[in-house]
Amino acid sequence: GENVEQHPSTLSVQEGDSAVIKCTYSDSASNYFPWYKQELGKRPQLIIDIRSNVGEKKDQRIAVTLNKTAKHFSLHITETQPEDSAVYFCAARRGQGNLIFGKGTKLSVKP
Amino acid sequence: DAGITQSPRHKVTETGTPVTLRCHQTENHRYMYWYRQDPGHGLRLIHYSYGVKDTDKGEVSDGYSVSRSKTEDFLLTLESATSSQTSVYFCAISDNLAGYQETQYFGPGTRLLVL
């Protein structure tokens, strides 16, 4: 079955810097890759997703890139702000299968 | 937030007692899921449903059962709670488009402590 590994597990950046979180997946047939943000004590919320027919997607300060050959996808956050501090989860899904989540990255943005 | 509620939001129970958690949606979505979230493990799927009375196991289903008698409600039951089931439980929903599951949206979560 699918396996998703996420790195790093913790990431600390200065406000204004960029942050990059990377996930690798094992099933080459996976075709949907969402990213969720979870603030302390809150529910995971979708922030961006990408399907396998595109290589990159942007939404303001957030972007996701997908490398199908290498089977990895990454979340890029530019101009980080303190409110970006949260735990971020990647996930992968094949066809009609269920989402398989990475174990999360705790991002801390220092003012 | 999508129209998803969970009840109770917090529960403390004793080992060996039955516990039922409820997920209610107002979106009329086809798919519903139960996850547990534990430090170092991320989100792990317990059970899911792809329609009324249609359910299947996830990766950590032992000790849990589910039922879905109506589109809007998905119940998770711990028949005999154990301390290892202390966790935060999230319900999620997604719709179906052209035969594929779409984006999942999560409920607010239930914190369960088994003493």
Name the CA dihedral angle for B35, B38, B44, B47, rounded to a multiple of 10 degrees: -40
User: Is A94 near chain B, with CB under 8 Å?
Assistant: no
**Cα A73 from Cα A22, distance rounded (Å):** 6
Give the residue-averaged pLDDT of A7-22: 98
| Contacting residues of A for B88, CB less than 8 Å apart | none
A21 reaches B (C-beta below 8 A) = no
Here the tokens at position A104 are: 């999360």
Q: Which residues of A touch B58 (CB under 8 A)?
A: 98
| pLDDT over 70 percentage in chain B | 94
Residue B75 has pLDDT above 70, yes or no: yes
**Dihedral sign of CA atoms A21, A27, A30, A36 in order:** negative
Tell whether the model's pLDDT for residue B96 goes beyond 80.
Answer: no
Nearest to A101 among B43, B99, B105 (CB): B43
Higher pLDDT, B103 or A10: A10
Residues near A40 by beta carbon (within 8 Å), at least 6 away in sequence? A86
CA angle A59, A65, A66 (to 5 degrees): 140
Average pLDDT for A83-96: 92
Instruction: State yes or no: pLDDT of B72 exceeds 80.
Output: yes
pLDDT tens readout for residues A48-70: 999 988 899 999 999 999 999 99
What pLDDT is recorded for position A54? 85
Q: Is the pLDDT of residue A102 over 90?
A: yes
pLDDT at A5: 96
Q: Which of A32, A7, A1 is nearest to A102 (CA)?
A: A7
- Closest C-alpha to A59, from A45, A75, A71: A75
Does the pLDDT value for residue B98 go beyond 90? Answer: no
Q: How much is the pLDDT for A4?
A: 95
Give the sign of the dihedral formed by CA B56, CA B60, CA B62, CA B68: negative
- For the record, the structure tokens of B6 come out as 């969970």
The reply to whether omega before B8 is within 30° of 0 (cis) is yes
Grade residue A104 by pLDDT with cuts at 50, 70 and 90.
very high
Task: Write the DSSP string, B9-68.
Answer: SEEEE-TT--EEEEEEESS--SEEEEEEEETTTEEEEEEEEEETTEEEE-TT-TTEEEEE
B28: tokens are: 């009329």
